[in-house]
Amino acid sequence: MLDTLNYRHLYYFWVVGKEGGFSRAAERLGVAVQTISVQVRELEQYLGCQLLKPEGRGVTLTEAGSVAFSRAEEIFQLGQLLPQDVRQAAHKRVARLAVGLSDGISKLAAHALLAPVLQTPDLHLVCHEDEFDRLLVELSLHHVDVVLAGQAAPSSNTLRLSSERLVTSPVDWYGPALWVKKKEVMAFPACLETLPVLLPTGHSELRRTLDRWFHEQGLRPNVVGEFEDSALMAVFAAQGMGVFPVSHFGAEQAGFLKGLRFLGADPGVCEEVYAIRTRRGHQHVLVSALVAAVK
């Protein structure tokens, strides 16, 4: 039994898992199939369980193999970043911040939250938008440093993620003068049944909050458009398509609402934004500054 993990054995296993077979892995690595087979077998002996099983002409991961492959993926993807990070540290200190933006979050609010770190010297900001669950995986693999989302990470998550609520902001309704003037015929929020309404798409946490509010108010809004991106929704509203909801925090901080007029608000409807990070994220200077700026 080996005393410590042999990372060459782990690397060969990882390549076999990615290629789906020993022959393809051997071709990629330029070594004999037998060499890879021996090294994977020694890794299985070290871990005390079978990692691969036959499937058709190739192999597939066992349940234990899936866990080992996930960890190997994290290890070797981090290793691929090592040369770049070392070269940057040797020649110039770059402040890199990779942010995952849940596709349901208000981009106006996200911009306002990031504002405190945007003046950082030599900042290299990377913003990646994706679905919430996929972003949590990216975060666990350290592909992003922090995720901004409209909901916290699941309390029972196995990825060891922590969530901090950054802001709870009332939601205001805006629209172009053409439609806001017509609101005078019928009070807010009843006017939402007659005015053209733009809303976030159904996967957004804000949309779910609004749908509950509509139900409580007995409203059937006249929905004429649905948008994944809040900034895009504001653009269409400004061009006269309809009225729309926006986080008060985002609208106030980003100054994006030129040409739009206030329609109304209900204090019971709020948008929440959470910062989700790993233990490593707690040590990231810019992530810590982002969180501290709104507390």
216 is a domain residue: yes
What three-state secondary structure class fits 103?
coil
What pLDDT score does 295 carry?
Answer: 65
106 is a domain residue: yes
The number of domains in the chain is 3
The Cα–Cα gap between 193 and 178 comes to 16
State the CATH number of the domain containing residue 18: 1.10.10.10
Q: Per-residue pLDDT for 252 more than 80?
A: no
Count CB atoms within 10 A of the CB of residue 188: 16
Question: Once rounded to an integer, what is the mean pLDDT over residues 256-262?
Answer: 75
114 lies in the same domain as 103 = yes
What pLDDT score does 110 carry?
Answer: 85
Q: Per-residue pLDDT for 39 more than 80?
A: yes
Regarding pTM above 0.85, the answer is no
State the CATH number of the domain containing residue 144: 3.40.190.10
The Cα–Cα gap between 233 and 243 comes to 9
The confidence band for 11, taking pLDDT boundaries of 50, 70 and 90, is very high
190 lies in the same domain as 235 = yes
What is the residue range of 67's domain?
Answer: 7-75
178 lies in the same domain as 198 = yes
Residue 127 CA: distances (Å) to CA of 101, 146, 227 = 7, 10, 19
